[in-house]
Chain A
């Protein structure tokens, strides 16, 4: 079943992130696909994540699809102007890719090619608008397409914005994304379920499915690093303590993620697991969460 159909059934959705490799050896990527097939509802394929040059997200999405894993093609506005974005959307459509996650993307200076010229011809909201146009059979300037796309567009939201201004604008922007075609949301990693529940209350009226981000902790150091460096992520002290004192850190990290998923189950429509190197452990996390 497609992600759209699955979401429509009201089932608790599980998506997981798969990062394209740096290079052309797809062996491990295909192993991950094999392992995840049947265990998750869709796999998000990142687009030059953190501005690191890698294999393309469209080709990787296509490979996953061939392996029987439903892809969510992530698309950022960092590297392509509006001509290339639209063209890639047409190409993805021809390859049978249905789900697109529209993102603005990070600036190149954060990645491994900091000298690159950033594009940002469009932003995420405008990209969603463009996808809706293509779905309606027109390009963004109104030319009719011979054959239209049939995308199921999604978007990102950060429920952990730390100031009133940032938080309120996330909600305003979420609504703009919905008005421009976003049909589901995936969030930044959630560690504080109560705080997230408050966010979900605020956005309840939108009636759009939200998949809560889950990043399994690998160490206390990783948690501290994210607290310091990643906006919207706040790992509570209690979890950091758990990781510090854990004898088997891997098992503890998996258990924490599983517990989070269990708690999130009653609050939102699904989870989005960003395993960052632990892709092969996703089935274990899901089993521990009883999914």
Chain B
């Protein structure tokens, strides 16, 4: 996302203009914009004009509208995927939609003040946001995160999962009464189909690409890699051959399901390339939390009430919090969590914000969206009893 302009004073008043480019950006906007904010974005409006001759003409015009937001909706068909991913071969990368509804609050020759309007936020069009309650630290850091160049979302450009692709033929298992010949035949066909799909879905010619990952349990990844390599040789696909040689990485994962993408991103081969990114940090933090839960349950707390208690006692070393909690429709709730993050940071603790669009964030959401690794052990039940006794 491009930062077009930012005018925010030290009290948080002011506006920020952003230009979204892809799904991940829509997600950022969805998390930034809240009810009550004023948002200025382009809209298309049909206007009727009476011409000099008296006939009525209908015309579509593009105009900027400013709305006071009453509702905001995000929908995506790939939100279950780790990182923003696209199976759209054109690379347009847009399967998410963001819709904002509200009343028009700025004068406009074509639209009445106070009229109700719905805006579809479009890629590559500027959106200006002014926050009703001012810009808090979480919102500002989200703007920063979303607009730094070369951010994480580009790490996974495209994913292709043959198990759920309509072009892939089922492979009979070897135990068939007819023997293993059907298995072998289908396997060969599978590799062939996979080659075509690879060409269509993986932008291997893209120079910015760092790695082309083949991941599977067993040895399928090797067989597929070898086949694609061989076939590229046979067809004289020089670019593909080179890309495979230079960027092909084969990674073992324990299951073929989507969530094993986490294993890919944690593998030493890929982690080295991701080291400094937020993603790696989130994955590692969530792992740390789980390990702490296993070794010292008294230092791994989760659930909003418990975590707030731990924060009150200055016990939080690392706070894990999902962006979902900041999206609360009730501004008081959001403020509570913003204050929590700030207080943890003030006491020298770490606050890691997870994105619900990613696997790690979804896992944290299931765990109530908030968890903490404590610097010293505290017994939840004892603390609760003490609180109740106050």
A and B form one complex: no
B residues within 8 Å of A by Cβ? none
